[in-house]
């Protein structure tokens, strides 16, 4: 079931060996561009037409009313409501530790320098739907914005055949603190957030995962608005030695595979026998899952077992893959912490399944995918603020540094830069 790669002692894993698929299909990007152009030109009418085409429902109004939110609470059972509230509290508590304050310093006489931290004014959060509904993603995207101090947080999600967003998504948005909720999905929702329509006020940044068309749309509008990241399919890497339990490895691989037929799962181990055991467990577990078709497709098409000669080689392979989620199932997992350099989120030990990170632990589950953990990070409070540098000089302070300014300006051939300092400290253009 899993494609096997055997690495010899010291052999480096390469992209050619890994054969990782990724990127946005050009046809998808072209389709998203057409939708964006239509929404920019025709506003609500275009959103309405695409909603009818793709979601099978004609809407007069996109914004969810307070009465509809209240009705959603009546549809959510008590256990789910309690779980959403408990998880929201943990997520908020974790993100409150990320808050940065503005700061100022006087490093030299007459010089005031600093950094002002300012919340983004208006944010749009995309809540995915389709194969599954993800109220947890709403919590993970809205709560950091709330903690950051964003005043206007608009959530959008695709409507179902009834014309309404699934109740758990509405309740999650309300619990988290969204100020507006819209019934829009796909590239048309991204376009409405990016450029505005008659009924949707444009936002300054868009966050949240979605399908390939949503990812393509976010890529295309980036620059007109900020985005969090261009998320690819979900992925997990399990780093395991012979102490790992095959059944636990198998179910954790399946927990990612069940998201999407394009989800990628990796098992990196020093023991070939573990791969055999995991495949046997997968065969048994696939007979029990309610998402067999999706899970089997991902495992058949996008699963890789890497068999390494040593734990050091296994770590090197893991760092090269730079997975979204990394589970460390070895005898002394935390001993490897300093040697893991590339991963979106790291789960240590057999009692820390990736699922707790998706829901209840607190750290954000919006993570870099497709190797981008080499240079990017999970969604944080920092994604919902912007920073301004602060500078203030007295006359004496400028006089002390003016020669340096003029010398560098002359070296760069920027006459007016030098004159801006010269006119202040020497008087006159000569």
Q: Catalytic: 324?
A: yes
How many C-beta atoms surround the C-beta of residue 305 within 10 A? Answer: 23
Q: Residue 154, SS3? A: strand
Output the six-digit token pair for 25: 């299909």
How far is the C-alpha of 201 from the C-alpha of 173, rounded, in Å?
18
CB proximity list for 33: less than 8 A, separation 6 or greater: 216, 220
Q: Catalytic: 259?
A: no
Dihedral sign for Cα 400, 406, 411, 417, please: positive
Beta strands 205-207 and 235-240, pairing class: unpaired
β-strand partners of 155: 125, 181
Residue of 180, 325, 354, 365 with catalytic role: 325
Residue written as token pair 């903690």? 147
How far is the C-alpha of 215 from the C-alpha of 28, rounded, in Å?
9
Output the six-digit token pair for 426: 């020497």
Residue of 324, 327, 354, 365 with catalytic role: 324
Alpha-carbon separation of residue 281 from 186, 248, 298 (angstroms): 37, 9, 16
Number of residues in the chain: 430
Output the six-digit token pair for 412: 């760069």
Output the six-digit token pair for 201: 């006020």
List the one residue out of 316, 134, 265, 336 whose CA is nearest residue 346.
Answer: 336
Output the six-digit token pair for 32: 């998203």
User: Annotated catalytic sites, by residue?
Assistant: 324-325
């Amino acid at each position: 079931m899993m494609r096997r790669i055997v690495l010899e002692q010291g052999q480096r894993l390469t992209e050619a060996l890994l054969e990782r698929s990724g990127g946005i299909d050009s046809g998808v990007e072209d389709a998203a561009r057409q939708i964006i152009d239509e929404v920019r030109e025709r506003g609500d009418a275009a959103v309405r037409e695409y909603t009818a085409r793709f979601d099978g429902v004609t809407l007069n109004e996109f914004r969810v009313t307070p009465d509809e939110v209240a009705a959603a609470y009546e549809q959510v059972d008590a256990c789910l409501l309690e779980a959403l509230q408990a998880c929201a509290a943990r997520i908020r508590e974790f993100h409150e530790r990320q808050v940065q304050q503005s700061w100022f310093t006087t490093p030299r006489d007459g010089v005031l320098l600093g950094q002002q931290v300012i919340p983004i004014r208006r944010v749009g959060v995309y809540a995915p739907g389709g194969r599954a509904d993800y109220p947890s993603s709403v919590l993970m995207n809205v709560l950091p914005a709330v903690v950051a101090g964003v005043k206007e947080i608009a959530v959008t999600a695709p409507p179902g055949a009834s014309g309404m967003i699934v109740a758990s998504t509405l309740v999650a948005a309300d619990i988290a603190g969204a100020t507006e909720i819209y019934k829009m999905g796909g590239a048309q929702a991204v376009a409405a957030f990016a450029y505005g329509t008659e009924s949707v006020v444009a936002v300054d940044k868009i966050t949240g995962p979605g399908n390939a068309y949503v990812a393509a749309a976010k890529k295309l509008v980036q620059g007109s608005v900020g985005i969090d990241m261009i998320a690819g399919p979900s992925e997990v890497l399990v780093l395991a030695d012979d102490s790992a339990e095959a059944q636990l490895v198998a179910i954790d691989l399946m927990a990612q595979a069940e998201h999407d037929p394009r989800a990628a799962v990796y098992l990196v181990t020093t023991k070939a026998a573990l791969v055999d055991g995991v495949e046997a467990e997968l065969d048994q577990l696939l007979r029990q899952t309610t998402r067999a078709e999706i899970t089997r497709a991902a495992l058949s098409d996008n699963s890789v077992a890497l068999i390494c000669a040593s734990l050091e080689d296994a770590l090197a392979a893991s760092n090269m893959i730079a997975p979204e989620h990394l589970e460390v199932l070895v005898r002394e997992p935390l001993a490897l912490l300093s040697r893991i350099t590339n991963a979106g989120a790291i789960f240590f030990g057999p009692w820390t399944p990736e699922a707790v990170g998706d829901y209840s632990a607190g750290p954000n589950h919006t993570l870099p995918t497709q190797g981008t953990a080499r240079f990017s990070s999970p969604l944080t409070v920092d994604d919902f603020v912007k920073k301004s540098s602060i500078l203030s000089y007295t006359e004496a302070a400028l006089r002390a540094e003016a020669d340096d300014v003029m010398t560098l300006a002359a070296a760069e051939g920027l006459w007016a830069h030098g004159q801006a300092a010269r006119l202040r400290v020497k008087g006159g253009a000569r």
